[in-house]
Amino acid sequence: MDVLVIGGSRYFGKRVIALLRESGHRVTVLNRGSSGVPDGMGHLVADRDDEAALESVLAGRSFDVVLDQVCYTPRQAEIARRVFTGRVRRYVMTSTVEVYADEDSAGPVPESALDLASVAVDPDAAWDDPEFRDAHYGEGKRQAEAVFAAGAPFAWASVRVAHVLGGDDDFTGRLDHYVRRVRDGEPIAVPAVNRPATYVYVDEIAAFLAWAVEADFTGPVNAHSHGPLHTADLCAEIERQVGGRTVFREVEVGEVSPFSFARSYGMDNARATELGYSFSHSSEWLARAVSDAVGAAR
């Protein structure tokens, strides 16, 4: 297949690109040109927020599938919906567990918990402001999904990615935050009631996204390993590998450490299973993910 990947030059994105190439697909990467692409791949340079620039670089081009790794706002989704009309058969958007951040569920959250038809879309909000966009990350993804769901002129799917762990190239620093504090015995701020969450190993989410490109399902799908993890599970494995001591400091208000959650919105991956994908259990890779972070922290 001819596959266009928008963004995805780092972390699990670059792993997806490699897997698609290994599977024999013809891969083209579209980005702003700040990073190159591996030899043998097509490369289109444009700012995805610039509709005219996209129209220009895509002139005369069409693709079987687009994998959009960097659609963060409803405005970006609206541009993509217009630009790719007549140019693509199927569109796969990388989304996030954070679309469920308003949930506080006693059980795993299915895709149906978010009614995209009821999501209020505001393309005129301050999405161009990086601070606003970061502060409204989950909401931006939620509205972007709603734009596609409201009537994309091509088959559309979204992959709601769990919290990703692993890899010595994890640029987020979230697991490293725990490694350093446990090793040094520094306090770790957590909510007074701290909920478990769903996670996925970096290589596994790359494999799932590559699988999703080749599949034919539409609509949203939750993507995560079996076996939710609590902050204490992460810290216990860190202690096992580096020693140190976990010191939790409960806070009622204020900023808490990453991977600590006052609300329960861990996902249900039953739909992915029904579609034919088999996820691993977090116990199979947690030690490896921590080892990756420990190595990067040295």
Number of domains observed in the structure of the chain? 1
Distance of alpha carbon 197 from alpha carbon 143, whole angstroms = 23
Distance of alpha carbon 186 from alpha carbon 202, whole angstroms = 27
Mean pLDDT of the chain: 94
Cβ-proximal residues to 294 (8 Å cutoff; 6+ apart), any chain: 179, 238, 241, 242
HSE on the CB side for 291, CA within 13 Å? 5
Cβ-proximal residues to 134 (8 Å cutoff; 6+ apart), any chain: none
Which CATH number goes with the domain that contains 111?
3.40.50.720
Angle between helices 174-184 and 286-297 (to 10 degrees): 80
Residue 250 has pLDDT above 70, yes or no: yes
Lowest mean pLDDT: which of 103-112, 119-128, 166-175, 281-290? 166-175
Cβ-proximal residues to 14 (8 Å cutoff; 6+ apart), any chain: 8
Record the pTM: 0.95
Distance of alpha carbon 179 from alpha carbon 289, whole angstroms = 11
Residue 297: pLDDT band (50, 70, 90) is low
Dump pLDDT digits (tens) for 130-173.
999 999 999 999 999 999 999 899 999 999 999 999 998 888 88
Whether the CB-CB separation of 286 and 204 falls below 8 Å is answered with no
Average pLDDT (207-235) is 97
Dump pLDDT digits (tens) for 265-279.
999 999 999 999 999
Residue 80 has pLDDT above 90, yes or no: yes
Q: What is the Cα Rg of the chain in Å?
A: 19
Domain that holds residue 34: 2-297
Dump pLDDT digits (tens) for 176-195.
999 999 999 999 999 999 99
Residue 230: pLDDT band (50, 70, 90) is very high
Cβ-proximal residues to 177 (8 Å cutoff; 6+ apart), any chain: 257, 258
